[in-house]
Structures are given as structure tokens and as C-alpha cells.
Amino acid sequence: MLTMREVNKEWKKHVDKELSDQSPREAYLTTAAKLEEFMIKAEPLSLQRGNPFVARYLGAYISDSEAAQALRRLLATYGRMIHTANITLMNGVTSPVELSEVLQFLPFIEDLTIEAIFSSKTHRHQLPISFPPMSKLNRLNMNRMFDRDARDHGREWEQLLFSSILRSCSESLTYLCADGENLQLPGINELIPNVKDIFVIGPLYAEENENGLSDLQLKFEGIRITSLITPSENFLTSLNTFRETLTFLSLHITKAETFDPTYLQVFPSLEKLHLNINSNSLEDFPVETRAKFSIIPGLCPNLKELMIMFHRAFRGINLKSATEVISSLFKKLKVIELSRAEDQYSGRY
């Protein structure tokens, strides 16, 4: 695969993407000793104007202050060569100020995942803070960045940290993965004006907080949502905001019997629909639920891919027969897959 990188720039780009996607946690730099060893081996290559980071990727899992200091030294020397980074900071080894100092060494970062545990009790005075500009950053994953003192002090401090980071890359960002509650920030639309794809994790769509999408007035092309408790009327109606531009939608539906697509309008651009469906251990597909689901083909006239995973739901359905029936309802469908989480049996058309 490394030889393929030398064919031309286009091949190199695709190979680098594949390598970064496959980077295992075991390959992460995890201790001060490993970080120092990496720098020693990297020096001869850098002197020859080479890049010591395969696919310009860095993975670091830091859990003590000594390793945190070594990471700073590594980034100070080689950070300009990194385009993709997955950095985990555990056990409160960093603060907002220290994170800002680390990010200043990544001026050409394009894809960044930050997993970090902060302490608002210890570092409350450090916010607000200006993070260094990350004008090249287009993909950001912050869904595992949280304040361990939030239970005692609320989530305002965590959200202030979240918004401070977004301000440093608001113009360039096109993909965001974040905890649902942090998307309820005042002025969120101005913080992520160019985001086209969003991956929402967390309790945003719980029954007690069902209006999570209603404040987002952006032209999303892709939406993926996990931890959807109950697909309420307000939530389903809020999806209509994105119906003209949305091409991909993935939902986790905890109570299939409460999912009512009659609240949805036509989604003319939707090409891929992925559903994870749970129910209260229903064996059969109730007539009223079947009637609701039957209107989906009319709502998605240009759908090309449909994937449905059943979790303890509708065990009486014959997946092979259902696959054939459903595929006949969509005029442009090319891929359909129905499967059960319990046995991983799937029917493919």
C-alpha cells in the first residue's frame, strides 16, 4: 500500500485517507518514552525533508502529565506536518489553556478528534479563552470532550469551552460530531455556518428535551443521530427544515410504535436512509405501524440505499420476503439491507 502512494498525487490522497481510517488504538503514542522514541527516529527523516507521520496522521492517548509534556515537545517540532490527529487526554492531564497551546502547534490540521476530561472546579477561571485559528480544519469530533464536574456545576462551563473551540474554525468546518446538548448553544448557527454533515451523540432528543434540532437553521446534507429516545412530533417536524438539501439520514428509533412519518414532508434529495429500530419486544409488525412506514417511499422518491437494523423488534418478520416487498416500493433503490442485531442475519437485494 505504501508503494501505491508513489504513483501520483491522487493515489497518494486516497491511500493516506485509507491509512488514517485504519489506524488502530494500539498504534497510538501513549507514554513519554514512546513519544521521545518517536522523536529520535523522526529526526533523520525530517532532516531529509521527509514526513515521519504516515498519512500525516497522529494518534496520541495521554493519561499522565509526563506524557502530556512530551506530546507538547513533539508537536512543537513536528506539528506542522500533521493533517489528521486523534488526541485523547485522560485523567485531567490538561486544561483549556494547555489545550490551546497544543493546538497552536497544528496550523495545518484538517481532521481533528479530541477526547478530553476537564475540571471546571479547577479551571473555571480559564474561560472564556481564544483558541488559535485552525483555518484548514474541516472535520471536528468533540463528542467525548466533557467536564467531570458538570454534575455539580452544570454544563455552562463545558458549553463555553465548546463554543470557544468552534470560533477558531467556524468558517472552514464542514463536518461536526458533538454531544447533543452542546448543540443548543446560543448562536450555534453562527458558530458552524458551513457545516454540511453532523453526527449527534448524547441525550439531545430525550423526551424531556425534544426540540434539539429546531434551533439549527443550516443546509445539512447529512444527519446522523444516536440516542434517540422517542421520535416525537416536534422532533420529526424539525427534520423538515433540512428536507431540500439532505442526502443522508441515519436515525436510532427506540420506540418504533411511536415513529410517525406522517409529520414528515417530501425529501426530494434524500438518497440514503439508515434506521436502527427498537420496540417493546414486539413479535409482529402491527397493522397501524405498517401503515405509517408504508408512506416512506412517497416521502423519499429518489432513495437509492435503505438499511434497517432491528433491535429486539418484529421477530416475526421474514427478512428475505420483506426485502423483496420493500425493494419493489422504491423506484430508484439500488441497495437494501434488513438485519437483526441479535443474529446478524441479513437479507440483501
pLDDT band at 148 (very low <50, low <70, confident <90, very high): confident
Q: Give pLDDT tens digits for 167-211.
A: 999 999 999 999 887 887 888 999 999 999 999 886 555 454 555
Q: Is the pLDDT of residue 97 over 90?
A: no
In contact, 75 and 105? CB cutoff 8 Å: yes
DSSP lists the bridge partners of residue 114 as 87
Percent of the chain's residues with pLDDT above 90: 38
In contact, 143 and 177? CB cutoff 8 Å: yes
Mean pLDDT across the chain:
82
Query: Using CA atoms, how far apart are residues 31 and 36, in angstroms rounded to an integer?
Result: 9
Query: Using CA atoms, how far apart are residues 101 and 107, in angstroms rounded to an integer?
Result: 12
All three cell numbers of 53, joined, read 507521520
- pLDDT for the residue numbered 155: 77
- pLDDT for the residue numbered 349: 42
- pLDDT for the residue numbered 228: 59
- pLDDT for the residue numbered 20: 52
Question: DSSP characters for 291-324?
Answer: HHHTTHHHH-TT--EEEEEEES--TT--HHHHHH
Convert 81-146 into a string of H (helix), E (strand) and C (coil). Answer: HCCEEEEEECCCCCCHHHHHHHHCCCCCCCEEEEEEEECHHHHHHHCCCCCCCCCCCCEEEEEEEE
Q: Is the pLDDT of residue 321 over 60?
A: yes
- pLDDT for the residue numbered 286: 66
All three cell numbers of 233, joined, read 412530533
Residue matched to cell numbers 425493494? 327
Mean pLDDT, to the nearest integer, of 142-164?
81
- Residues with Cβ within 8 Å of residue 210, at least 6 apart in sequence: 230, 232, 234, 235
Q: Is the pLDDT of residue 22 over 60?
A: no
Mean pLDDT, to the nearest integer, of 224-247?
83
More confident residue, 327 or 155: 327
More confident residue, 270 or 38: 270
Q: Is the pLDDT of residue 229 over 80?
A: no
Mean pLDDT, to the nearest integer, of 129-133?
91
